């Protein structure tokens, strides 16, 4: 089988189309998960069954990535220290994050969840400022975080300032999930320096997904009503995670990080639009429109590439916050 030439992913049109496709895939996960709850008859407060649902999805996606790694000829074995590190990453980046995320999505709309989850990019920038000495918070990034969080506030605007449209079980849980994955990605970034990032992600998703399933199963969770339609939806969610991560990793490898990461803003755009189409959610209220514009603008500010000044000498690749490089490679 012939491999795709590296220059293929570097072509401007290909990069734009594939990065946009990843945004579409990740954005579609919000209505797909909520549709899955309905198809598998999982109630809003049935946390155990939500964990089983999430576990099946991510364990399946992880196994699919492991098969892809085998086909690529990559080594899957890890050292003892590597296994411990990857297990810790899986329990945080997949298990803990998606406990909060799936609970939140069950108690909030798909549109608002996609907006709230976009705070991952802003949390990543803020955490990097305190952890990395060479990744300080610039004026541009600070403005991006302020604009983004202003958008989140707009999305939760209620009848009065004392009555916001916000619940801890819904929007609060999605935001907490965004913070957890931001912290976990910084840990994962360090691990990727000594472990193949695709192999690392495959194992952490498999381990984290299995833990999610076990937690749900021990709590009495189950997935009933298996039909061709519900099975097809679960297969789509599995393929979504594996395919989007593979494409995004290839784009980051063969293009400047800033050129790719700026397309993160499409995730909440597609999340809101697809929630309106498939869930019939009323997402065209003024507050949702304002929130979406501000959040997308904030993401663009913290991830957009800065053009280096013209110089006759060679320039370094554009710099982008390390955790932001993979800010959406976990849905």
pLDDT above 80 for 157? no
Phi and psi torsions of 160, nearest 5°: -140, 170
Mean pLDDT score, 155-174: 79
Of 173, 31, 5, 206, give the one whose Cα is nearest residue 100.
173
Closest CA to 58 of 97, 16, 111, 104: 97
Rounded CA-CA distance 199/317 in Å is 26
Please state, for a pLDDT cut of 70, what percent of the chain lies above it. Answer: 86
For residue 137, the model assigns a pLDDT of 80
Is the pLDDT score of 25 beyond 50?
A: yes
What pLDDT does residue 104 have? 93
What is the band of 311 on the pLDDT scale with cuts at 50, 70, 90?
very low
Could you tell me the pTM of the whole model?
Answer: 0.82
Residues 6+ apart with CB under 8 A from 206: 58, 59, 62, 63, 65, 66, 90
163-172 pLDDT, tens digit each: 678 889 899 9
Rounded to whole angstroms, the Cα distance separating 316 from 30 reads 38
Question: pLDDT digit string (tens) for 27-74?
Answer: 999 999 999 999 999 998 999 999 999 999 999 999 999 999 999 899
Residues 23 and 271 sit within 8 Å (Cβ to Cβ): no
Look at the block and give the residue holding tokens 């009555």: 163
Instruction: Look up residue 324 and give its DSSP letter.
Output: G
Report the C-alpha gap between 48 and 214 in whole angstroms: 10
Give the confidence band of 328 by pLDDT, cuts at 50, 70, 90.
very low
Any idea of the CA torsion for 201, 203, 204, 208, to the nearest 10 degrees? 140
pLDDT class of 90 with cuts at 50, 70, 90:
very high
Helix 139-155 × helix 286-303 angle, to 10°: 160
Q: How far, CA to CA in Å, does 24 sit from each of 16, 131, 271?
A: 12, 32, 8
Alpha carbons 145 and 143: distance in angstroms, whole number: 5
Structure tokens at 260: 């790719």
* CB 52 within 8 Å of CB 222: yes
Max distance between CA atoms of the chain, in angstroms, equals 66
Which two structure tokens, joined as six digits, stand for 278? 């498939």
Question: What's the angle, vertex CA 47, arms to CA 33 and CA 87, rounded to 5?
Answer: 80
Task: Collapse the DSSP code of 305 into the 3-class scheme (helix H, G, I; strand E, B; otherwise coil) and give the result.
Answer: coil
pLDDT at 10: 85
Pull the structure tokens for residue 2.
């012939």
């Amino acid at each position: 089988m012939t491999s795709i030439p590296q220059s293929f992913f570097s072509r401007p049109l290909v990069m734009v189309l594939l990065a946009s496709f990843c945004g579409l895939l990740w954005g579609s996960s919000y209505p797909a998960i909520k549709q899955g709850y309905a198809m598998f008859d999982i109630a809003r407060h049935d946390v155990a069954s939500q964990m089983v649902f999430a576990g099946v999805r991510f364990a399946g996606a992880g196994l699919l990535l492991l098969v892809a790694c085998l086909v690529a000829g990559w080594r899957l074995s890890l050292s003892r220290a590597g296994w411990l590190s990857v297990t810790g990453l899986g329990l945080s980046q997949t298990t803990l994050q998606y406990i909060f995320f799936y609970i939140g999505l069950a108690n909030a709309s798909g549109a608002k969840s996609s907006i709230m989850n976009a705070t991952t990019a802003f949390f990543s920038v803020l955490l990097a400022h305190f952890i990395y000495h060479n990744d300080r918070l610039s004026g541009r990034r600070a403005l991006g975080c302020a604009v983004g969080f202003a958008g989140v506030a707009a999305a939760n605007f209620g009848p009065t300032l004392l009555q916001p449209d916000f619940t801890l079980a819904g929007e609060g849980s999605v935001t907490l999930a965004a913070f957890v994955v931001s912290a976990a990605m910084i840990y994962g970034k360090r691990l990727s320096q000594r472990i193949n990032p695709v192999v690392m992600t495959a194992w952490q998703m498999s381990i984290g997904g299995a833990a999610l399933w076990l937690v749900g199963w021990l709590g009495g969770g189950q997935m009933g009503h298996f039909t061709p339609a519900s099975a097809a939806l679960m297969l789509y969610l599995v393929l979504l995670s594996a395919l989007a991560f593979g494409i995004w990793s290839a784009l980051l490898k063969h293009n400047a990080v800033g050129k790719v990461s700026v397309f993160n803003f499409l995730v909440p755009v597609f999340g809101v639009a697809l929630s309106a189409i498939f869930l019939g959610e009323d997402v065209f209220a003024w507050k949702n429109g304002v929130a979406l514009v501000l959040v997308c603008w904030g993401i663009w500010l913290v991830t957009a590439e800065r053009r280096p000044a013209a110089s006759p000498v060679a320039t370094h690749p554009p710099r982008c916050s390390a955790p932001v490089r993979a800010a959406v490679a976990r849905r």
